[in-house]
Structure 1
Amino acid sequence: MLSCRDELLLFTKQLVNIESIVNTSGEKEIAQVIHTMISSFPYFIDHPEQLVKSQTVDDEQERYNVLAYVKGTKGTSQKTIILMGHMDTVGIDDYNHLKEYATSPDSLKEHLKSETLSTDIKAHADSEDWMFGRGVLDMKSGLASHLYLLKYYSEHPDELDGNLVFVSECDEEDGSRGILSSLEQLSAWKQEQQFDYIAAINADFVSPRYEGDQNRYIYKGTTGKLLPSFFITGAETHVGSCFEGLDPNLIAAELTRQINYNPELCNEADGEITVPPVSLKQTDLKPSYTVQTALSAYVYYNFFIYSWSPKDVLIKLKEQAYIAFTQALLTFKERYQTYCQMSGEPFKEVKWEPNVLTYEEMNERLLDEHGTKYQNHMELFKSELLLDETLDTRMYAARVVEEAWKWMKNQSPTIILFYSSLYSPRVQLTGENENERHLMEALDHAVNQVQPYYPHPIVVRNFFPYISDMSFVALSDDDTGIKAVADNNPGWGTKHYVDYEKIRELNVPVINIGPYGYDAHKKYERMELTYSLEIVPNITNYLIKRLIN
């Protein structure tokens, strides 16, 4: 077992002290600090060309990744392991009056002791084995573990029959531009150095999965994350004649009732199951108050997948949208009939029928009907829309659908289903190829070696349950699944683009061995020192030795 706690604690505090909130200059600062730290290691003084600080591409922010590699001298193997982790954090506004201490773990802990805390949090605040602060758990202690191992093997390359690559990426908490930009450097090293990438190890945080859970988890592969979105048109009317039109908010509400928390939309794979989708936004698109009902509404949902493809999800959600639309019209009709009975007004048969299209279906129909006139108009519209810096990728996509809808000959109420944000691909380790089998066997061996030194169970599961940059070093989807993402994202190629083929070229099996704690992204974010600073680096080290020694 490596005796690494003290040095790793120092590294962790150094990283946490830097306020590296995503989409701020702090990302640039922490990259420079990490680059300076690594450049001071004797190995990199002798091999400066093996350390790179590279700026992200196609990014409105100036920020950088830091990559480095150590070449082993024990043998001639070119087997290479990637140690990856992100250096950005979420914001600190939730710390309120303690905001100035959010990145100073020792000071924060002292101030927390005077707060009114729950029993569990107070016990951790009083313990010498817990550290509080923004980024201590997510995931600077994990990054520090990789930094320590890079330093260790730079001092002991003779223990390495292969190579170790360190990747510290930015922008994980937003658009993953860091890891996506890093693919270029990883690909270049693969060609120049003949690296044979056999495994990637991420060090993002792990937490209890339920109250009272004592397990410390390691994950093979990761969940995929989609943002299915729905543009909903109604039939506008004056509110004084409300039954003469159809409010799209009624359909939106029914859609959310149908999709939100629906267990039918949980994806099971390898004995594990995703959480169901949940709404992240629901609004109409009226620019201001009027007494006219809204022309359209917009909703989108978080959607996790383990084995379904993006195309599978479109098929399933189109079915759900039909169910919701049908129910909304039934509710409308029943309430209209009841109102007519109460008021004595004559009832008119409801004329609308459920209509659901994917963006791809609508776009193809409009190209068939209008040809290059429509195509040229939309290209110009999208390019001009890029000038509106207030629009994120999600609202940009909605505005593109809204504009395209104007070209539809049939303007009856409709739901348009599309994707409006980044697809973080699922990664499923099946053991079907040699690298996956070796990684899974080596992981079991590493856990067995370290478990006797730690009192709580270390449990291996199949899918990291949160969004992470693990999604961008391997790809389980086939071309059809990826095509569904591109063809159904209205911002594809303008506001948003991902070169998924770059991921497929790398395609290295990935696992997560990360620090343990509670409340990531929250005020009481904290991590357990013993597991995070002793057990995590040693499991990772045993895994390295097993795979390339």
Structure 2
Amino acid sequence: MRPIREEVMSITKKLVQQESIVNTDGEAALARSLHAMIAGFPYFRDHPGQLILARTADDERERYNVMAYVRGTKGNSGRTVLLMGHLDTVGTDDFVHLQEDACHPDRLMDKLHHEELPDSVREHLDSGDWLFGRGVLDMKSGLASNTYLLKYYSEHPEKLDGNLVYLAECDEEDSSHGILSALSILRQWKEEHGFSYVGAINADFVSPRHTEDQNRYVYRGTVGKLLPSFFITGAEAHVGSCFEGLDPNLIAAELTRQISYNPELCDEADGEVTVPPVSLKQTDLKESYTVQTALSAFVYYNFFVHSWTPKDVLEKLRAQALTAFENALLIYEERYRQYCSATGEPVRRIPWAPRVITYEEMETLLIAEHGKAFTDHKERFKTELLEDTSLDVRMFSVRVVEEAWKWMADRSPAIVLFYSSLYSPRVQITGETSEEAALNRALDLAIEEVQPMYPHPIRVRNFFPHISDMSFVSISDDEEGIGAVRDNNPAWGTKHFVDYGAVRELQIPVINIGPYGMDAHSKMERAEMTYSFEVVPALARRVIERLIGADKTQTTVALAGPETHS
């Protein structure tokens, strides 16, 4: 086994064996252990001020990022590369009877040999080149590669004419408190130490795009993710007289039929297409059983973007919501007429018309009508609502919309469109700036050098396809686009806030070079060791040294990258 592969594997197993499920005490425990590991590197024993355990800000939980930097000694350049990766994982309940072994790869694989497995999984298990376990793929092997590179360059700062910053962030799997808290320190280091961030390398996992796909992907930039949400009001009625009212669940059902899996809502850019939106929650807002129809309903959808801004998405979804509302009323009227025909009752005119407004439009209307009385009430209500810690940001948001709706003079059935969660901005690396062009070139050359030594194709794509912390080191949206997020999120400034200005100030072009594997977030999570423990650090090392290396003309070196060391 090659020494670098062995070392990255060793670090991976150490990280995996310490459970760090998001929103548990394990996150903080692993951060402390990782900090202690790095503190033991000789460089950081001599430079303890260049390694910090940084608690997250504005976070209900106690958890930490681990951050460090190595100053190159070849020259005095301020050029700086950021290595980033998250230390938290999803839970282990899916392992069922193997849950106690989920974070112990060797034990788990021994037991998996006695399990009934799909042929493809069995082949990987028997090959000796795949490591199984929770977090192995997402993304502790990527974090291990970054940790290895930090150690290597701490032992060889003479190879860098510039600086290497290391970030192991928490809470990537939920609300990104980690990376959002790290922004202030990255900015502080920029000001105090003259760091000029020329590129960032994330190490999140990559997977095949379909069952026949043999490519290993690296990504420039990342997909953006929104959570468009809909508060739907109806007209309440007793179920024995259901046609006297309008059930908001009917509108919600039509809304989901209109939006979920709709290819019209796939965003295409640079030849790549997002997956369509899909419903993540659909419910009415009745708190208990009654024999009356619901007064309101709540639906939200996952929505990926490559080029559309949050403002664009609102306008597209307004049109979809109007169509859904129209369809719901057509269904209602058709069925009402059929019922009247069967019963002999006279047909009355349907009194409702489709109505869709954004939260920003509703709030503007209410301020114009009620002024300070409304704004004061809204702020008091939000402050009191914060005391209910059972509400996540999504339910908090809809409760604010529901309360605001009570102030409307016209409360006939309507759909209110808003955002109820974190916006992870899209990042397009176009190559238009000198930093982006240099990063693209460094990545292309790195792949060109490594590819002959690895049997599967290594391909570049333009958008990392999953939600990731890459979204918070650079931003492609203009101020108007970001304003649509701020002005249409009812939780903004209380339950939820993101300093997108800080992201824009850093504006670090970012790529993803991460471990390859399959079945992340499932019981069969596994990483291919040759790619993950050898190719990944080799590619990252070449990019680093093209950007801030002492010898930017270097070409081919061994696949494993840096020379071996203990």
Both structures adopt the same fold (TM-score exceeding 0.5): yes
**Residue 212 of structure 1: how far off its partner (Å):** 1.0
Judge which range, 70-79 or 166-175, deviates more. Answer: 70-79
Whether 2:37 is the aligned partner of 1:28: answer no
What per-residue deviation string (whole Å, max 9, x for no partner) do you get for residues 442-494 of structure 1? 10000001001100000000000000000000010110011100100000001
The residue that corresponds to 2:61 in the other structure is 61
SS at match of 2:421: coil
CA distance in 2, matches of 1:478, 1:392: 28
The residue that corresponds to 2:157 in the other structure is 157
The residue that corresponds to 1:397 in the other structure is 397
CA distance in 1, matches of 2:8, 2:484: 44
Contact 1:262 1:277 (C-alpha < 8 Å) held by counterparts:
yes
CA distance in 2, matches of 1:259, 1:316: 10
CA distance in 2, matches of 1:334, 1:290: 26
Question: How is 1:138-287 mapped onto 2 (pairs within 5 angstroms)?
Answer: 138-287=138-287
Judge which range, 273-282 or 67-76, deviates more. Answer: 67-76
Amino acid at match of 1:334: E
**Residue 48 of structure 1: how far off its partner (Å):** 0.5
The residue that corresponds to 2:530 in the other structure is 530
**Residue 127 of structure 1: how far off its partner (Å):** 1.8
What per-residue deviation string (whole Å, max 9, x for no partner) do you get for residues 260-308 of structure 1? 0000000000000000000000000001111100000000000000000
CA distance in 1, matches of 2:85, 2:406: 45
Amino acid at match of 1:425: P
The residue that corresponds to 1:541 in the other structure is 541
Whether 2:482 is the aligned partner of 1:482: answer yes
Q: Which runs of 4+ in 1 moved over 4 A?
A: none
How many residues are matched?
548
CA distance in 2, matches of 1:233, 1:322: 14
CA distance in 2, matches of 1:66, 1:178: 10
Percent identity reads: 66
Amino acid at match of 1:250: L
The residue that corresponds to 1:128 in the other structure is 128
SS at match of 1:131: strand
The residue that corresponds to 2:558 in the other structure is none
What per-residue deviation string (whole Å, max 9, x for no partner) do you get for residues 395-439 of structure 1? 000000000000000011000000000000000011110000000
The residue that corresponds to 2:119 in the other structure is 119
CA distance in 2, matches of 1:304, 1:41: 41
The residue that corresponds to 1:362 in the other structure is 362
Amino acid at match of 1:136: V
Amino acid at match of 1:45: R
CA distance in 1, matches of 2:362, 2:524: 47
CA distance in 2, matches of 1:272, 1:490: 32
What per-residue deviation string (whole Å, max 9, x for no partner) do you get for residues 52-84 of structure 1? 110000000000000000000111211100000
**Residue 365 of structure 1: how far off its partner (Å):** 0.3
Question: How is 1:426-445 mapped onto 2 (pairs within 5 angstroms)?
Answer: 426-445=426-445
SS at match of 2:459: strand
Whether 2:320 is the aligned partner of 1:320: answer yes
CA distance in 1, matches of 2:302, 2:159: 45
Question: How is 1:13-52 mapped onto 2 (pairs within 5 angstroms)?
Answer: 13-52=13-52
CA distance in 2, matches of 1:127, 1:454: 17
The residue that corresponds to 2:336 in the other structure is 336
The residue that corresponds to 1:80 in the other structure is 80
CA distance in 2, matches of 1:467, 1:113: 33
Contact 1:310 1:485 (C-alpha < 8 Å) held by counterparts:
yes
CA distance in 2, matches of 1:223, 1:521: 19
Contact 1:3 1:534 (C-alpha < 8 Å) held by counterparts:
no
Contact 1:189 1:195 (C-alpha < 8 Å) held by counterparts:
yes
Contact 1:515 1:532 (C-alpha < 8 Å) held by counterparts:
yes
**Residue 3 of structure 1: how far off its partner (Å):** 5.0
SS at match of 1:390: coil
CA distance in 2, matches of 1:464, 1:313: 20
**Residue 343 of structure 1: how far off its partner (Å):** 1.1
Whether 2:417 is the aligned partner of 1:420: answer no
CA distance in 2, matches of 1:211, 1:126: 19
CA distance in 1, matches of 2:84, 2:141: 12
The residue that corresponds to 1:301 in the other structure is 301
**Residue 548 of structure 1: how far off its partner (Å):** 1.2
The residue that corresponds to 2:495 in the other structure is 495
SS at match of 2:446: helix
Contact 1:95 1:102 (C-alpha < 8 Å) held by counterparts:
yes
Amino acid at match of 1:109: M
SS at match of 2:69: strand
Contact 1:136 1:525 (C-alpha < 8 Å) held by counterparts:
yes
CA distance in 1, matches of 2:374, 2:195: 48
Amino acid at match of 2:263: P
The residue that corresponds to 1:388 in the other structure is 388
Contact 1:227 1:302 (C-alpha < 8 Å) held by counterparts:
yes
**Residue 130 of structure 1: how far off its partner (Å):** 0.4
CA distance in 2, matches of 1:158, 1:292: 74
SS at match of 1:4: helix
TM-score for the superposition, normalised by structure 2 = 0.96
What per-residue deviation string (whole Å, max 9, x for no partner) do you get for residues 288-338 of structure 1? 111100000000000000000000000000000000000000010011011
CA RMSD of aligned residues (A): 0.7
Amino acid at match of 1:302: N
**Residue 91 of structure 1: how far off its partner (Å):** 0.3
- Unaligned segments of structure 2, at least 5 residues: 550-566
CA distance in 2, matches of 1:209, 1:458: 13
CA distance in 1, matches of 2:14, 2:524: 19
Amino acid at match of 2:324: A
SS at match of 2:127: coil
